[in-house]
Amino acid sequence: MNNRRGNFFYRLKAFMQGRYGRDSVTFLLLGIAIVLMILSWIPKLWFLYFFSIAIIVLSILRSMSRNFAARERENRMFLKIVDWFRKVFHEIVSFFSTRRRMWRERNTHSYYRCPKCGCYVRISKPPKGKKIMVTCSHCYNQFVKRT
Ligand SMILES: [Zn+2]
């Protein structure tokens, strides 16, 4: 019994030799397939079940592919897209956390945008009606602001 199972895995390994195998795109496809399968439980969306099966078959065929260059190109493209989304997400989060901080510190600190690099410069709140020189902590650009 044990020997037979070992034999199976040995044969599977031999079969997958020289084939692409799985990567992050495989997981994405399987993830989409699972979501579609769950959605197909909704009576009007039953046809999604077939899409789900099709995607699973596609991901299996993809992992058996011998065209490494094409599969790696897909994987790289996918990772690039993920990276882009991560960057956008990070920017959105930092935008809101900056706004929140500005609001929380509105009585004690002032924020000015550096005209050169676009970063926010945080300084303790100056008295009103004065001209002040602000130095950017990122690019050391100096600019004058009226408070
Ligand atoms: Zn700057």
pLDDT of residue 72: 94
How far is the C-alpha of 76 from the C-alpha of 70, rounded, in Å? 10
**pLDDT tens for each residue of 97-128:** 999 999 999 999 999 999 999 889 999 988 88
pTM above 0.75?
Answer: no
- Specify if 141 maps to a domain: yes
Q: How many domains does the chain have?
A: 1
Q: How far is the CA of 80 from the centre of ligand 1 (A)?
A: 29
Q: How far is the CA of 84 from the centre of ligand 1 (A)?
A: 24
**Domain of 127, in residue numbers:** 108-147
- Specify if 135 maps to a domain: yes
**DSSP symbol at 137:** T
Q: How far is the CA of 64 from the centre of ligand 1 (A)?
A: 51
- pLDDT value at 1 more than 60: no
- Specify if 122 maps to a domain: yes
- Specify if 99 maps to a domain: no
